[in-house]
Chain A
Amino acid sequence: MRRLRGFLLRFTGLFGRGRREREIAAEFESHFEMHVADNIRRGMTEEDARRHARLKFGAVESAKDSMRDAATVVALETTWRDFRYAIRGLRRNPGFAAAAILSLALGIGASVAIFSVADSFLLRPLPYRDPESLMMVWEHHTGHMPRNSISPGNFLDWKAQNTAFESMAAFGDAQAPFADGERVEELQTQYMSADLLPMLGVEPWRGRFFTREEDAPNAANVILISYRLWQNWFGGDENVIGRRVQLRAQPATIIGVMPPGFYFRTRSTDVWETLNLDPSRNYRQTVGRYLMGVGRLRPGVTHDAAQAQMTTIAQRLAAAYPGFNTDWGVNVEPLRESLVSELRAPLLVLLGAVGLLLAAACANVANLLVARYTSRRREMAVRAAIGAGRARLIRQLITESVTLSLAGGTLGVIASRWIVLGLLALAPLDLSRNISVQVDYRILLFAIGVSVFTGVFFGLAPSFAAWRADASKGLREDNRSSIGGAGRLRAWLVGAEVALSVMLLAGAGLLFRSLAGLQDVRPGLNPTRVLTFRVVLPSANYRDAMKRTEFFRRALEQIERLPGVESASAVSFLPFNGGSAGTDFKFSGRPPAKPGEGLAATIRTVMPGYFETLAIPLKAGRVFTAADNTAQSPYRFVVNETFVEKYLHGENPLSKQISVDMDDKNPYGEIIGVVGDVKGDALDKDPEPTVYYIHAHLNYTRMTFVVRAAGDPMALAEPTRQAIRAIDASQPVAEMRTMDSVVRETFARQRFSALLLGGFSLVSLLLAAVGIYGVMAYSVTERTREIGVRVALGAEPARILALMIGNGMRSVVFGAAAGIAGALALTGLLRSLLFGVGSHDAATFIAVPSVLIAVALVAAYLPARRASRINPMEALRAE
């Protein structure tokens, strides 16, 4: 209580200080006079008495200081005083303050923005119960495809035989037309075994989850809908539970609503349905691998133990089903790992880059602070001489730099909100689709931490310079001195800025070169002026396979009649859009392959006109015609060049007979044509051997249309949609976009990283230029007199120019060398983002330091020119 009272009194002491100061002075005065009077009484002369009293009393000022310290909450008051002093000082030097605050705002803003993005992927826990024990369970093929989808048959055996997992569930993504009798739309769905949602530990928002019985074969369709769909489609109607809707033109009952924001791996899912696996069915004979698996580890079971057990089970299954499972193993991967593994490399690169940028910004601020301190050496010396303690001086310097950095940090946080929005606009879809970037309190803490750390740390730099330059020396020293400790410190800082800048520029240079390389890659088709969209026919309405082919044939016929359409076709898996089917095949007349040595190819089903529409060149033979697209026509295949190279080794492909394991019956058919290669899923992937089917022989309900327009392809969006409606009014159309944007999306990640790193490196280059300019300008001022003498002794202006630039460039050259070394060591981390360019690309490593040195020369030239024009008379008189 007493302590509190003392504190309050002292705190109120902060105010009404003038009166108290007068009182202290009066009390000291009376004390002093009494002492003098006593001394006189003891027989001293008045003068002696006063001298003694003064000696005895000691330093009045320091006594007053300690009075004040006791009288107020010292730290608070001095901090406040230092703070006001700092503000006043900064206002007197707006250029300095603006430069420092701006560099910090850029550094902190960029790091907060990148940190927020990285945080939401790499650090934030997944929104499920105990997410660390959730594991993805993949099949994996020896040598490649570590994350392959899984066979339902294998999944059922894993589930039955393992003891490592508390529960295991299978799921997959699909799109399906969803209708309520009035409107129909294609929605993203996820089918899953009943175990999955309870395993995640989420609760339904309304209604209930699936029961085991509902997940059994031939059970009635029940579905769960997203909160989003509940709100947007059903207006949040509480009676939605039990509503009958149509999914894939089949009746289904809504039994629950998921909580807001819930998703599992696919953020856009609006409908969840059951998987309905049948344990008695022999899946290994009838279907391939198409599911995904997830499991929750039993408490106490480690990831490694689970992996070991699953590998044993997989070996057993490989022995039991050699035809299906030879060379197939299991890969147990933590759920988070599976979600971020693709993004981790670019995000870590960006985090590293933004760290470098922040370091450059801090070096710049330290540089500015040291410069400012140097010009205030006298002031500091005077303050020290009249009794300010060293600790006090340092505290003041730190207060000043913390003030600066907090201002910069505040500005940075504000800026980061815009930067994050900008980032999301630029970000590749897989980033922006799955992201919910918020700047929350942890990130604010991060920003404040960075600001304060910068302030304290870089406030200390000039303080150490203060250490070196002894106070009394500061008084004696005048402007004649050459650059001392502070100058050397600044040269180091400039060197560091240059080095950081070189590293960032090198990274950005490499990324831009690979981006340019990607843009030059010939995709193997012509994506310009092509509109694409997806149509998924509900199989319930199109049981007869030929009805499907007929639908697509009629739709294309209608679309081709539209004005502005040059040609149109459709394909099962659009290139560059991720996902495709692949399977084994046999050549007629060759012995059957041993298990695990089958010939594999990517399979695409097309409608006639596909190759013409996408301008995929015909290399030999012919392409499909409308006559091939009938059930009665013999099986015929078109293959690509890679197929011929890989499997035919110079034999003539035409009229070779192949059989592809795609359906129940796979009769041999003739290869009628060879077309040019189309790159794999992305521009930086090699093309894969591909076999094209005509739709009538490999029937898909889900086809992506490709429409080549004479003009703007998006202008055809509405007419084509109506053409589809005209055939079936309840048929939705999804994902309308141009083929150009589909292709561009495949290198969005590289573009994103390149743009960001480019931005960072430009900022760091600017910072380095400011630093070089500052140091040079300062050294010219410092050496005015010396230069004056040189000029008076006959030095040519050109020599002076060379001398000054030479001096300034020394730290630049050292910094650049260090930066190149650092970049050579670090750019290896970029490798996964690079394409067609090595991480030690010579051109980049020559161009980057050249650019930097050119910029540095300009920054050094301006002050140096001033030095070369110094008038010797003025310079010598200037003291």
Chain B
Amino acid sequence: MSKKQDVWQGTLALMVLRTLEMQGEMHGYGIARRIEQVSGNRLMVNYGTLYPALLKLEQEGYIASEWGVSESNRKAKFYKLTRAGQGQLKREARQWAATTDVIARFFATEGSPS
């Protein structure tokens, strides 16, 4: 068994938003595959967390959904970013960058533990 990380809840929403920003409309399966691909298969998306996250984002108005037909001619629910979602993504991305920057500084200045 290869060691794969489960996606943490907080970041999953950000990844979903980012994926939708890059790919436009997409169904749940596609989003999951896309996240796994982008992570180089290091992340494994648990559907038990993905769909609730999608629902939550939709309820908060950041994404919208619509039933459509998939590339393989299958009925599927497609998600896309809303205007509010775009704003939210910008904010979240900024926050994320700030956080990683701070954390990075910690490791840069204190030196690595011996």
Which chain A residues have a beta carbon within 8 Å of chain B's beta carbons? 2-3, 5-6, 9-10, 23-24, 26-28, 30-31, 33-35, 37-38, 57-59, 62-63, 66-67, 69-71
Residue of B27, B32, B56 near A30 (CB, 8 A) is B27
Stretch at the interface among B12-20, B71-79, B91-99, B106-114: B71-79
Contact A67 to B55, CB < 8 A, known contacts A2-B60, A30-B75, A34-B76? yes
Residue of A6, A34, A37, A66 near B59 (CB, 8 A) is A6
Main secondary structure of the interface of B (DSSP, over half): helix
- Cβ contact within 8 Å between A27 and B48: no
Interfacial chain B residues near A58, Cβ < 8 Å: 46-48
User: Once bound together, how far apart are the Cα atoms of A31 and B70, in whole Å?
Assistant: 10
Interfacial chain B residues near A2, Cβ < 8 Å: 60-61
Tell me how far the C-beta of B86 lies from the nearest C-beta in chain A, rounded to whole angstroms: 15
- A-B pairs, top 5 by smallest CB distance, nearest first, are A70-B52, A63-B48, A34-B29, A6-B59, A31-B29
Interfacial chain B residues near A70, Cβ < 8 Å: 52-53, 55-56
Contact A30 to B51, CB < 8 A, known contacts A2-B61, A5-B61, A6-B60? no
- Cβ contact within 8 Å between A71 and B55: yes
- Cβ contact within 8 Å between A30 and B49: no
User: Once bound together, how far apart are the Cα atoms of A808 and B100, in whole Å?
Assistant: 69
**A-B pairs with beta carbons under 8 Å apart, 22 shown:** A2-B60, A5-B60, A6-B56, A27-B28, A27-B51, A27-B76, A31-B27, A31-B29, A31-B76, A33-B74, A34-B30, A34-B72, A35-B29, A37-B72, A58-B46, A66-B48, A66-B49, A66-B52, A67-B51, A67-B55, A69-B52, A70-B56
User: Once bound together, how far apart are the Cα atoms of A27 and B27, in whole Å?
Assistant: 9
Interfacial chain B residues near A38, Cβ < 8 Å: 33
- Cβ contact within 8 Å between B48 and A30: no
Interfacial chain A residues near B75, Cβ < 8 Å: 26, 30
- Cβ contact within 8 Å between B77 and A30: yes
User: Once bound together, how far apart are the Cα atoms of A717 and B30, in whole Å?
Assistant: 100
Which chain B residues have a beta carbon within 8 Å of chain A's beta carbons? 27-30, 32-33, 46-49, 51-53, 55-56, 59-61, 70, 72, 74-77
User: Once bound together, how far apart are the Cα atoms of A28 and B29, in whole Å?
Assistant: 9
Tell me how far the C-beta of B46 lies from the nearest C-beta in chain A, rounded to whole angstroms: 7
User: Once bound together, how far apart are the Cα atoms of A27 and B51, in whole Å?
Assistant: 9
User: Once bound together, how far apart are the Cα atoms of A28 and B28, in whole Å?
Assistant: 9
- Cβ contact within 8 Å between A34 and B70: yes
Tell me how far the C-beta of A1 lies from the nearest C-beta in chain B, rounded to whole angstroms: 10
- Cβ contact within 8 Å between B47 and A63: yes
Interfacial chain A residues near B55, Cβ < 8 Å: 67, 70-71
Interfacial chain A residues near B74, Cβ < 8 Å: 30, 33-34, 37
User: Once bound together, how far apart are the Cα atoms of A735 and B30, in whole Å?
Assistant: 94
Q: Name the residue on A nearest B58 (C-beta).
A: A9
Tell me how far the C-beta of B55 lies from the nearest C-beta in chain A, rounded to whole angstroms: 5
Interfacial chain A residues near B33, Cβ < 8 Å: 38
User: Once bound together, how far apart are the Cα atoms of A58 and B49, in whole Å?
Assistant: 11
Tell me how far the C-beta of B57 lies from the nearest C-beta in chain A, rounded to whole angstroms: 10
Which residue, of B30, B51, B53, B56, has the highest number of chain A Cβ atoms within 10 A? B51
Interfacial chain A residues near B49, Cβ < 8 Å: 66
User: Once bound together, how far apart are the Cα atoms of A63 and B30, in whole Å?
Assistant: 18
Q: Name the residue on B nearest A3 (C-beta).
A: B60
Interfacial chain A residues near B30, Cβ < 8 Å: 34
User: Once bound together, how far apart are the Cα atoms of A59 and B47, in whole Å?
Assistant: 9
- Cβ contact within 8 Å between B27 and A9: no
- Cβ contact within 8 Å between B48 and A62: yes
Which residue, of A31, A58, A62, has the highest number of chain B Cβ atoms within 10 A? A31
Contact A57 to B56, CB < 8 A, known contacts A5-B61, A30-B77, A34-B72? no
Interfacial chain A residues near B72, Cβ < 8 Å: 34, 37
Interfacial chain A residues near B56, Cβ < 8 Å: 6, 70
Interfacial chain A residues near B28, Cβ < 8 Å: 27, 31
User: Once bound together, how far apart are the Cα atoms of A71 and B27, in whole Å?
Assistant: 19
Tell me how far the C-beta of A75 lies from the nearest C-beta in chain B, rounded to whole angstroms: 16
User: Once bound together, how far apart are the Cα atoms of A57 and B47, in whole Å?
Assistant: 6
User: Once bound together, how far apart are the Cα atoms of A209 and B48, in whole Å?
Assistant: 77
User: Once bound together, how far apart are the Cα atoms of A37 and B71, in whole Å?
Assistant: 11
User: Once bound together, how far apart are the Cα atoms of A680 and B52, in whole Å?
Assistant: 81
Tell me how far the C-beta of B91 lies from the nearest C-beta in chain A, rounded to whole angstroms: 12
Q: Name the residue on B nearest A8 (C-beta).
A: B59
- Cβ contact within 8 Å between B51 and A63: yes
- Cβ contact within 8 Å between A59 and B48: yes
Interfacial chain B residues near A67, Cβ < 8 Å: 51-52, 55
Tell me how far the C-beta of B92 lies from the nearest C-beta in chain A, rounded to whole angstroms: 13
User: Once bound together, how far apart are the Cα atoms of A34 and B33, in whole Å?
Assistant: 11
- Cβ contact within 8 Å between B52 and A30: no
Q: Name the residue on A nearest B32 (C-beta).
A: A31
Tell me how far the C-beta of B9 lies from the nearest C-beta in chain A, rounded to whole angstroms: 11
User: Once bound together, how far apart are the Cα atoms of A96 and B47, in whole Å?
Assistant: 43
Tell me how far the C-beta of A26 lies from the nearest C-beta in chain B, rounded to whole angstroms: 7
- Cβ contact within 8 Å between B47 and A30: no
User: Once bound together, how far apart are the Cα atoms of A28 and B48, in whole Å?
Assistant: 11
User: Once bound together, how far apart are the Cα atoms of A26 and B53, in whole Å?
Assistant: 17
Interfacial chain B residues near A34, Cβ < 8 Å: 27, 29-30, 70, 72, 74, 76
User: Once bound together, how far apart are the Cα atoms of A58 and B27, in whole Å?
Assistant: 19
Tell me how far the C-beta of A140 lies from the nearest C-beta in chain B, rounded to whole angstroms: 73
Q: Name the residue on B nearest A62 (C-beta).
A: B48
Contact A30 to B29, CB < 8 A, known contacts A63-B47, A70-B52? yes
Which residue, of A2, A23, A34, A35, has the highest number of chain B Cβ atoms within 10 A? A34
- Cβ contact within 8 Å between A30 and B70: yes
Interfacial chain A residues near B47, Cβ < 8 Å: 28, 31, 57-58, 63
Other than the given A5-B61, A63-B51, 19 more pairs (CB < 8 A) read A2-B61, A3-B60, A10-B59, A23-B77, A24-B51, A26-B77, A30-B76, A31-B32, A34-B30, A34-B70, A34-B74, A35-B29, A58-B47, A59-B48, A63-B48, A66-B48, A70-B53, A70-B55, A71-B52
Tell me how far the C-beta of B23 lies from the nearest C-beta in chain A, rounded to whole angstroms: 15
Interfacial chain A residues near B60, Cβ < 8 Å: 2-3, 5-6
Interfacial chain A residues near B29, Cβ < 8 Å: 30-31, 34-35
User: Once bound together, how far apart are the Cα atoms of A66 and B28, in whole Å?
Assistant: 16
Q: Name the residue on B nearest A63 (C-beta).
A: B48
User: Once bound together, how far apart are the Cα atoms of A31 and B29, in whole Å?
Assistant: 5
Interfacial chain A residues near B76, Cβ < 8 Å: 27, 30-31, 34
User: Once bound together, how far apart are the Cα atoms of A69 and B53, in whole Å?
Assistant: 11
Interfacial chain A residues near B32, Cβ < 8 Å: 31
Tell me how far the C-beta of B58 lies from the nearest C-beta in chain A, rounded to whole angstroms: 9
Tell me how far the C-beta of B51 lies from the nearest C-beta in chain A, rounded to whole angstroms: 5
Interfacial chain B residues near A57, Cβ < 8 Å: 47
Q: Name the residue on B nearest A27 (C-beta).
A: B77
User: Once bound together, how far apart are the Cα atoms of A333 and B29, in whole Å?
Assistant: 80
User: Once bound together, how far apart are the Cα atoms of A58 and B44, in whole Å?
Assistant: 12
Tell me how far the C-beta of B77 lies from the nearest C-beta in chain A, rounded to whole angstroms: 5
